[in-house]
Structures are given as structure tokens and as C-alpha cells.
Amino acid sequence: MEYGKFPAYRPRRMRDGELARQMIRETELSAKDFIYPLFVKPGQGRRDEIPSMPNVYQVSLDMLMPETRELLDCGIHYVLLFGLPASKDEVGSSAWDEHGVVQEAVRIIRANAPQMYVITDVCMCEYTSHGHCGKLDQDGYVMNDETLDLLAREAVSHAQAGANMVAPSDMMDGRIGHIRRALDQAGFSNVPIMSYSTKYASGFYGPFRDAADSAPAFGDRRAYQMDPANADEGVREAMYDIAEGADLVMVKPALPYLDVLERVKRETNFPTVAYNVSGEYSMVKAAAANGWVDERRVVLELLTSIKRAGADMIITYHAKDAARWLAEG
């Protein structure tokens, strides 16, 4: 080999053998990076697998602790709770019910597993009869400002139940500032906000809407979620939410938006979370079930790519499997 004026650096030398690769590895995935989404519902003895999401379950409150212990055993210390309420109405009033399913789930986990950090999803779509993320006007449009108070009530009720952190996913403008003020006024100035700041109107949420029973009854969410074509705007969305008081920002989905993730992290220099969403999960599971890809290999590769792009934390349905694989080494 001829090197000319360059030093004789041959990258291949450091790729031979796991211990050599380990010395120069730039991205290290760990169970500490994962947040696991949990779907909770009323009832007794229920642990129902979501058909489009193999090995992901909706669990009733009495089944929550075995699920929580399994996560802790894998080294996972963060959960994100989604509720399937007993009843729905036009404005989603069960979202701020003191004895709602999420509020009860928070109490159960906090009382029985203090080592678990409990984050709650704050949105109206699981609680409204029409499945939109807020209050509707006569034409079926979500009314931004009227929805803010409802979200704030929901967030405060989660904090009252003991949530460690709240995560608004609705995409109404101004909600972070509104929720921040409401939390502060209610005495929860220490409860941080993880904002779904940069959330795209995506086809990859399909399986989740089965899981959370939150598909819009008509129309779609394009009036409030972001256009997949926009990256500058994705960075701006994160900056607005930081200015309003967000403690962490998010890019969602993850894999089709790694460029946006990289920019949000670099340009805001702020803690950034990526949501590896339901459709991303289902695609991998379907291909793996058919023997078309090696599940362990592609999952670890995908999660590494998300972390390499800039994610400080990853919300992922693969968390349990990935944590076990990482522990095996």
C-alpha cells in the first residue's frame, strides 16, 4: 500500500476482534437509555397482546406490578404510561379524573416500585369519543386555546397522583408554557416536562392507535402534527418548547427522521429524546417473524443508529429484548 504524505493509518487494524472494536467505539447502547411505553386499562386479570405489536400488551391495573418488576429486572427504570379509559366523551373528561386509569397506575407503581421513574403521556386522543387530541369546534376542527386548559388539568392530575414527569404529545401551540404554569401554581414546580416537540403527522403511528384505541373517527392530525417534509421547522418547534419551559425535547418518529434528530440535538444542545414508534416496531417484528431479518441484529443496529444520531434517551417497544441482549453481551 502507498500512503504518500498521509500517516499509515489503516482503519481495518482496529476492526479485528471485539476487544479492538470496543477501544474505539463511539456509541454505547445501554438499558439506561430506554423508556418503555406501557398501556394500562381498567378491569381484572387482563394482559391482552396487541395484534399488530407482538409481545406488547395492554395490562389491567392488577397486572401492572409483574410488568414493572420484569422491566426493573431487565435494568429498565423509565416507563411512559398510556391510558385506555373506562369511558370517553366529547371533551375527554376522564383524562383528568383523579381515579382515572393512568392516575391509579401511577399510584400503584410509585407505591410498590420507588426505583421506577414514571412518565405520563398527556394528550386527549385516548379520552375523546372522536379520537382527536383536543376539543372540537362545530366544523370538527381542534380548538387550540380551548384545549390548553384541559391538557393542564390532565397534567396536574398526573402530578397529584405522583408522576415523576409529564409528557405532552398533543401538539397544541403554547401547551408547554401553559402546562408549566399550571404545574407551578399547583405546587409541582419540580415535575419536569418532556415535550413531544417535533412530532410528525406520520403513517407509523398506525399500530399504536389500535393499542391505545385512539384513531381519529374522521379526518387526520395534519392540522396540528408536522409535515414530514420539514426539518427547519422541526428545529424551531423544539426551540419554542424550550423557551416555554420544556426540560427535554423529542423527535418522533425516530428512524425516518434521524436527520431531524441530529439537527435538533446539535442546534438546541438540549436533552433530546427519540420515539421509536409502533409502526417502526411492527415492521421489524413482521420481517423477523418471517425469517427475513435477524431480529437481534437489526434491533440493536437500529437503536444504535438512533443514539448515534443524537438521542439521549430512546422510547422503544424493543426495550426489554434489547436490554436482555445487551446484558448477554
Among positions 60, 94, 120, 278, the unique one binding ligand PBG when judged by CB under 6 A: 278
- What whole-number distance in Å separates Cα of residue 5 and Cα of residue 19? 30
Is 58 an interacting residue with respect to ligand PBG (CB under 6 A)?
no
Nearest to 246 by CA among 198, 197, 200: 197
Q: Residue 195: is it exposed, middle or buried by C-beta count within 10 angstroms (0-12/13-18/19+)? A: buried
Is 155 an interacting residue with respect to ligand PBG (CB under 6 A)?
no
Q: Residue with the closest Cβ to ligand PBG?
A: 208
Is 120 an interacting residue with respect to ligand PBG (CB under 6 A)?
no
Among positions 103, 120, 147, 169, the unique one binding ligand PBG when judged by CB under 6 A: 169
- What whole-number distance in Å separates Cα of residue 28 and Cα of residue 21? 12
Q: Which stretch binds ligand PBG (CB under 6 A): 26-34, 63-71, 110-118, 120-128?
A: 120-128
199 is catalytic: yes
Strands 53-60 and 47-50: antiparallel
Q: What are phi and psi of 59, to 5 degrees?
A: -120, 145
320 is catalytic: no
Given 41, 88, 199, 320, the catalytic residue: 199
Nearest to 249 by CA among 303, 188, 315, 164: 315
Is 123 an interacting residue with respect to ligand PBG (CB under 6 A)?
yes
Q: Which stretch binds ligand PBG (CB under 6 A): 94-102, 117-125, 136-144, 286-294?
A: 117-125
Is 34 an interacting residue with respect to ligand PBG (CB under 6 A)?
no
**Total residues binding ligand PBG (CB under 6 A):** 11
Inter-residue contact 91 to 137 (CB < 8 Å): no
Q: Look-up: residue for cell 428545529?
A: 235
Residues acting as catalytic residues: 199, 252
Q: Which residues bind ligand PBG (CB under 6 A)?
A: 121, 123, 125, 169, 205, 208-209, 214, 221, 277-278
